[in-house]
Amino acid sequence: MNKLFRISLYVSLFVAFLVSSVVLYAALQHNPQGEFYSLDNGRIEFAYIAMLFFSWFIPVFIVCSIVGATVVFSCQLLKRLYNKFAKSEEQ
């Protein structure tokens, strides 16, 4: 059981990191109104970069974790039901 939850957690972390990184890359390439970095003075706004990254990372991680936990619980429930009915048919 713990192994399945751990795998679900790792997959959720990976997906959230991947989605957040892609969105951050697109934002840095577009750089609307010099919000993330300025070519004039070379200043990088790490607060805006972190805000954008985590504003995508946290919701994606939560959604993926909920989906992963649902899948793990469903698999465990189906496995228990199958074992229960398989034992009752043997008798």
Residue 48: other Cβ atoms inside 10 A = 13
Q: Which pLDDT value is given to residue 86?
A: 79
Give pTM, 2 decimals: 0.82
Rounded to whole angstroms, what are the CA distances from 53 to 37, 40, 72, 80, 81? 15, 24, 28, 40, 42
| Alpha-carbon gap, residue 21 to 27, rounded angstroms | 10
Q: Which pLDDT value is given to residue 48?
A: 93
Q: What is the pLDDT of residues 7-64, one digit of tens each?
A: 999 999 999 999 999 999 999 999 888 889 988 888 999 999 999 999 999 999 999 9
Question: CA angle, corner 17, sides to 60 and 8, nearest 5?
Answer: 65
Q: Using only C-alpha atoms, what is the Rg of the chain?
A: 22
